[in-house]
Structures are given as C-alpha cells and as structure tokens.
C-alpha cells in the first residue's frame, strides 16, 4: 500500500526540492522542521539551530539535557558540527551566512511582506529569531497551509497583522501552489496535482500572475 502524505508532509516535500547540496539552512518550528525528512537523494545540507550551533541532527539514543533544538526538544549534533554563543548564531543569520530559511506564516502579501509573530490582543508569542532570519537569510521560504482554518485567505494584497519583515519573502509553498515573489508581484509557478487554476485563484486574495511556464508541483517524494 502506498504511504499517504498529510498536507504538511506534502508542503515539506515540495520545500525540500529547493535545497541545494551544501546549503546552510534554518528550519522554523513546526511544519518547516519536517523538510529535513524529505531531502532529495544526494542533497546534504547543514542545519543551523538558532540557539547556538550548526550541524543539528536527530536526537541520539542517549538524551543530552544540554543539547536541544530551537524548540527546546532534545537534539543531536553531527560530527563536524560546531557550537557557539547567541552572538555568533545571529551574526551568521544577519551576515548572509545562512542560505535558506523556512518559516511558517500567518499572512504574506504582494510586496513579499511576512506576518507571523503576533495577533494583537490574542496571540503574542514574540518574534524570537524570526525577524533576524528574514532580513539575513539569502532565501526566505514561507511554508504554510494556503488558507486559515476558517477558510480565510492568508496570501493577501496587503498584510493586516504586524509584520515580521518588509519585502523579505522569496517564495511561498502551500499544499495548493508554489508562488514566487518578484519585483512585479506574486507569480504562480506551480499548482498541486488535481487542483485547478481557478481553485487556487479563488482561495488567494492577492493578485497572482500566472507564469508562462506554469507546471504541476514537483515533490521530493510522493
């Protein structure tokens, strides 16, 4: 029987296709973390953990209380990994030494603005390292479900929530589509199998330009 993939796993499988061999990558908590499970063959990346190391690995059999990922879950470190303090960790982030960051999103808009750190009066977790990551990483991929749980749009003409970063997003990957942020606005590059163009447009408030080379979404697995 074929394995069935959840929405989040399908998004992770598509994001994984964006990784190049040798990339230094920071994966946000939640859905983005799944990306490392679906890397294409022969693609090896180095994961940056914002709490102070590169070479983030799955947890080993013996849990080390001094070694956790940025979500405080027990972690491992690969041979060749390196530990440092928070200054070095964010010098790497802001200084352009991280090739790709993958984050979740509450809203993204036509200017590549991202909102993912607070909902005034309701949910105020704080920005943590997200504001540094979006200004510093060479490529910022927002990996999120296309619409909110109540069906409302998340890809908007203009974000209404407080921004995490202005004009920072490179690419949006959802279960329905791959959208690239360009100086001319959002360009729809790929659509998921069995989804129509009309359906994607209906579920997106922002204006989407349809790429001349529109294709079906490619996945590292499935």
Partner 1 sequence: MNKIVEYEEIVALFNDGMTVMVGGFLGVGTPASLVRILVNNEVKNLTLIANDTAFPNAGVGPLIVLKQVKKVITSHIGTNPETARQMLIGEMKVELVPQGTLAEKIRAGGSGLGGILTPTGIGTIVEDGKQKITIDGKEYLLELPLRADVALLKAYKADRAGNLIYRRSARNFNPIMALAADLVIAEVQEIVEVGQLDPDEIMTPGILVDKVVCYGGIDDENI
Q: Where do contacts with partner 1 occur on this chain (CB under 8 A)?
A: 49-53, 64-68, 70-72, 75, 77, 83-87, 89-91, 93-94, 113, 121, 124-132, 135-136, 162-167
Active-site residue, from 9, 50, 175, 190: 50
200 Cβ contact list (under 8 Å, min separation 6): 146, 176, 177, 188, 191, 208
In whole angstroms, how close is the CB of 66 to partner 1 at the nearest point? Answer: 4
- Smallest separation, CB 55 to partner 1 (Å): 11
Contact (CB, 8 A) for 143 and 15: yes
Task: Please classify residue 85 by burial: count the beta carbons closer than 10 Å to its beta carbon, then call 0-12 exposed, 13-18 middle and 19+ buried.
Answer: exposed
- Hey, what are 216's tokens? 């079906």
Record the tokens describing residue 191, joined without a space. 């659509």
Known catalytic residue at 50: yes
On whether the CB atoms of residues 48 and 92 are closer than 8 A, the answer is yes
Contact 163, 114 (CB under 8 A): yes
Q: Minimum distance from CB of 188 to partner 1 (Å)?
A: 25
**Shortest reach from residue 27's CB to partner 1, in Å:** 16
Structural contact between residues 126 and 135, judged by C-beta atoms closer than 8 angstroms: no
DSSP H or E run through 86? helix 86-94
Give me the sign of the Cα torsion angle 170, 213, 17, 10: positive
DSSP structure class, residue 195:
-
| Minimum separation from the CB atom of position 39 to partner 1 (A) | 23
The set of catalytic residues is 50
């Amino acid at each position: 029987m074929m394995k069935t993939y959840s929405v989040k796993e399908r998004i992770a499988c598509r994001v994984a296709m964006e990784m190049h061999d040798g990339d230094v990558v920071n994966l946000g908590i939640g859905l983005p973390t799944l990306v490392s499970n679906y890397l294409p063959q022969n693609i090896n990346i180095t994961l940056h953990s914002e709490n102070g190391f590169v070479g983030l690995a799955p947890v080993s059999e013996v849990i080390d209380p001094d070694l956790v990922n940025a979500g405080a879950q027990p972690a491992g470190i690969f041979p060749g990994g390196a530990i440092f303090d928070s200054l070095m960790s964010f010098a790497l982030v802001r200084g352009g030494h991280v090739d790709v960051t993958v984050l979740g999103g509450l809203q993204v808009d036509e200017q590549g603005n991202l909102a993912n750190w607070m909902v005034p009066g309701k949910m105020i977790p704080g920005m943590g390292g997200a504001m540094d990551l979006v200004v510093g990483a060479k490529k910022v991929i927002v990996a999120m479900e296309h619409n909110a749980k109540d069906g409302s749009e998340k890809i908007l003409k203009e974000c209404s929530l407080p921004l995490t970063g202005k004009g920072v997003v490179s690419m949006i990957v959802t279960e329905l589509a791959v959208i690239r942020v360009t100086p001319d606005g959002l360009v729809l590059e790929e659509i998921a199998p069995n989804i129509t163009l009309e359906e994607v447009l209906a579920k997106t408030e922002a204006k989407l330009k349809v790429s001349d080379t529109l294709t079906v979404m490619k996945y590292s697995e499935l």
